[in-house]
Homo-oligomer: A and B are copies of this chain.
Amino acid sequence: MTAAITIKTTNQTELIDITGQTERVLKEKGIQDGLCCIFVPHTTAGITINEGADPGVQTDILAVLNEVIPFRFPYRHAEGNSPAHIKASIMGSSVKVIVESGKFLLGTWQSIFFCEFDGPRTRKVYVKVIGT
């Protein structure tokens, strides 16, 4: 079965480290070896893997995305959150992580980040593990 995680975001655009929460799901499943898919069922939020040590990296990723994808533009979508939809597609709706010995096989500096682009909101993330 697929596990669901709930995330409460507090800003309009924000990166939230969900490595611990998703790895907990993995341990509950007890799968030792396989592939994990972490999926965002929203269209104004995304997911990415990047550096978790210095929060400055998260700030810089958001700052440049918010600069390159204009908040003001002759957008057609009346809800006013088109920049969030565009950033969601650029970051992507899922990440895949290899599972080895019951743990995520991540690099030393890698963390998994939920990317809020139209917050604050209460969000969900699905975690699915496929064993080999």
Interface flag for A70 (CB, 8 Å):
yes
A128 CB contact (under 8 Å) in B51, B56, B98: B98
Q: Are B60 and A50 in contact (CB under 8 A)?
A: no
Q: Do most interface residues of chain A lie in helix, strand or loop, or is the interface mixed?
A: mixed
Over the window 25-41 of chain A, the binary record of Cβ atoms lying under 8 Å from chain B Cβ atoms (1 yes, 0 no) is 00000000111010111
Q: Are B88 and A50 in contact (CB under 8 A)?
A: yes
Q: Are A76 and B96 in contact (CB under 8 A)?
A: no
Q: Which residues of B contact A39 (CB under 8 A)?
A: 96-98, 105
Copy tally for this chain in the complex stands at 3
A96 CB contact (under 8 Å) in B33, B49, B94: B94
Name the interface size band of chain A. Answer: 35 or more
Q: Are B57 and A82 in contact (CB under 8 A)?
A: yes
A52 nearest in chain B by CB position: B43
Q: Which residues of B contact A60 (CB under 8 A)?
A: 73, 75-77, 82, 85-86
Task: Tell me the complex Cα distance, A42–B105, Å.
Answer: 12
Can you give 17 A-B contacts (C-beta < 8 A)?
A: A34-B130, A41-B105, A48-B92, A50-B85, A50-B89, A54-B78, A57-B77, A57-B82, A63-B73, A63-B75, A64-B70, A64-B73, A64-B82, A68-B68, A92-B95, A93-B95, A130-B132
